[in-house]
Structure 1
Amino acid sequence: MSKPLALTLGEPAGIGPDITLQAWLRRTELGLPAFYLLGDPGFISQRAALLGLDVPVTETHPGQAVEIFSKALPVVPTGHRVTAQPGRPDVTSAEATIGSIRQAVLDVKAGRASAVVTNPIAKAILYRAGFTHPGHTEYLAELAADGGVVPQPVMMLWSPTLAVVPVTIHVALREAIEQLTSPLITSTTRIVAASLRRYFGLSRPRIALSGLNPHAGEDGTMGTEEDTIIAPAIATLRNAGLDVQGPLPADTMFHDAARKTYDCAICMYHDQALIPIKTLAFDEGVNVTLGLPFIRTSPDHGTAFGIAGKGTANPASLIAALRLAARMASQAA
């Protein structure tokens, strides 16, 4: 790749720094794409020493990252010192987390990086520092705003086994049901279809939509949202030429035979989509934000404070996120 990936710091008290260091150590073995970390070089060196990892850290800028990557972990300073210790989140490091995300987006927009890959954040810590967004996805959408117009971000969880999209994201279940509308389902599915064509090379992606209620409403005996909200959206999508099926009972959508009938499953709320993929592909799952003017991927797990700094964190999901970001960037080029 001519341009490196921009990797964010994430929550410094979590496992983000650990898995970043481990991923770099496996760069040659796994043929990983070049990336640079946005953060505090001194902090990363200290974490490497704590873990007993022989990782040389070089302070640099994005233009030198590809050249440096084979010999050292490139770290681009953001100007924020990190003070948090492993497993002990420190609210004073919140700006380092947020600044890293902000700078990664700026780098991609300016053509210095090919995609954004984000390490896990601890939203509760950021909220205490005044962060007002429900999560990564919504903050990235604000950073992507053009002329005051904020794009609709769509969260896809991808793995070689299964790809899923929740129509409603980081809200309580009661609010998710209130938010669910035919236009939201339609716009979400259109973004998914366009992204599968552009970034995954699927000329005619097959998309399955779940119902909201048990047994997809059981002909209206367990709810009417399938008939009044979901089915009209499916009709609109089919009239637009998209290959969609549903609404399908969510409890029978994810076994082996069912998964072979679609490329992506669109579900109506967060857990309906994330439970199956985290069950089937926890270590290989990647969080992908669609609908933005840049590529963003992330590991499909949290900060894991309990094992931070102990050398036991599994870098598999971050490695998958790095690989997928490079694949998507190459496909879109």
Structure 2
Amino acid sequence: MADASAPLPLALSLGDPAGIGPEIILRSYLQLKHGAQPFFVTGGAHVLAAAEEHCGIGCPVVVISDPAEALAAFTDGLPVMKGPAGDPRYTPGAPNDEGAALALHSLAEAVRCAIASTAAAIVTAPVSKAGLGRVGFEYPGQTEFLAEVCGLDPEDAVMMLAGPSLRTVPLTVHVALAAVPALLSPELIVHKARIVAAALKRDFGLAAPRLAIAGLNPHSGEDGQFGDEEARFIAPAIAALQTEGFDVIGPIPGDALFTPRMRATYDAALCMYHDQALIPIKALEFDEGVNVTLGLPIIRTSPDHGTAFDIAGKGLADPGAMIAAIRLAGTMAAARADA
């Protein structure tokens, strides 16, 4: 019988089985099996066993039928939930529809466990958006899927990239750069800033979060010479947030926001578009960057990199970001439990 006082395990989704997901999950277990919060994988036992043999990782796979079994099984090997019969063959670097279907099943099962409170949090391995699209996944990304499953509007789920020394939030995500100015508004900025501040308190233990908000244009518009979005949208949003009592600064030019001295003045930087937020994280903390979804009733983290089909199965994949994602999920779960 499971110990009622023990923390719930974390649920890991497999990701695309043709990518580096299976390898980095297996290698993460080997580094975290002593002292870390136990976790289990939602499906793909045969794929994981094949990946372990192919890459010579030396990680036993233990099949379980219920998340409650993960705590006891974790000392013996990587616990993996039974999935649909007939896992696809392990084909590293060669994605196919069968593998994408397994990735989608694993993602949905991990979310189900978190919503049912049989898992403390979910950690999602990298997926192929194109592959998921071929098997009926109709969302721009996993973040939008999670919002709908949790009964939220997509704007209520906020992507944050977190590393040891930097946290960034893209206010617009998977859209063309040319579309960004039309999507910005004071209401959008204020809404997402509130979600970020609340999550930094609830999940990261920051009593008084400090937010920095980036400008959109070079030199934050240079008093209108290079664009007026700062004056029309960004500055009014900052003023509104300050009136509500939030500790917010900006708009700060993008070329100054991520200097070492500037990074010491805030806990999270809100950026106007995808690359403005992701480039600094990937440049500074690629192997430890974690994608966190804020604003959900469940906890979700993910390594901040893709499937890397080109190196899958070659023993080159670094598990650092997956390890960081697992550790952060456990830390966030503990913060919520103590709240």
TM-score range, shorter chain: over 0.9
Measured after TM superposition, the shift of residue 83 of structure 1 is: 3.3
Match of 2:78 among 51, 66, 73: 73
Match of 1:17 among 6, 10, 22: 22
Match of 1:106 among 106, 112, 115: 112
Looking at structure 1, the residues matched to 36 and 7 of structure 2 have their Cα atoms a distance apart, in angstroms, of 14
**1:323 is aligned to 2:327:** yes
Match of 2:231 in 1: 227
Measured after TM superposition, the shift of residue 179 of structure 1 is: 1.1
The letter of the residue matching 2:57 is: L
Looking at structure 1, the residues matched to 44 and 202 of structure 2 have their Cα atoms a distance apart, in angstroms, of 35
Match of 2:137 among 109, 131, 143: 131
Q: Is the 8 A contact 1:39 1:100 kept in 2?
A: yes
Q: Is the 8 A contact 2:202 2:336 kept in 1?
A: yes
**1:176 is aligned to 2:184:** no
**1:307 is aligned to 2:311:** yes
**1:281 is aligned to 2:285:** yes
Match of 1:82 in 2: 88
Measured after TM superposition, the shift of residue 310 of structure 1 is: 1.2
Q: Is the 8 A contact 1:102 1:143 kept in 2?
A: no
**1:7 is aligned to 2:48:** no
Measured after TM superposition, the shift of residue 232 of structure 1 is: 1.0
Looking at structure 2, the residues matched to 189 and 205 of structure 1 have their Cα atoms a distance apart, in angstroms, of 11
* Mapping for residues 140-151 of structure 1, pairs under 5 Å: 140-145=146-151
Looking at structure 1, the residues matched to 138 and 179 of structure 2 have their Cα atoms a distance apart, in angstroms, of 18
Residue segments in structure 2 that go unaligned for 5+ positions in a row = 1-5
Show structure 1 runs of 4+ deviating over 6 A. none
Looking at structure 2, the residues matched to 179 and 150 of structure 1 have their Cα atoms a distance apart, in angstroms, of 14
The letter of the residue matching 1:10 is: G
Q: Secondary structure at the match of 1:83?
A: coil
Measured after TM superposition, the shift of residue 206 of structure 1 is: 0.5
Looking at structure 2, the residues matched to 294 and 98 of structure 1 have their Cα atoms a distance apart, in angstroms, of 18
Q: Secondary structure at the match of 1:252?
A: coil
Measured after TM superposition, the shift of residue 150 of structure 1 is: 5.8
Match of 1:252 in 2: 256
Identity within the alignment, %:
50
What number of residue pairs does the alignment pair up?
330
Looking at structure 2, the residues matched to 219 and 151 of structure 1 have their Cα atoms a distance apart, in angstroms, of 30
Match of 2:122 in 1: 116
Scaled by the length of structure 2, the TM-score of the pair is 0.95
Match of 1:63 among 64, 68, 84: 68
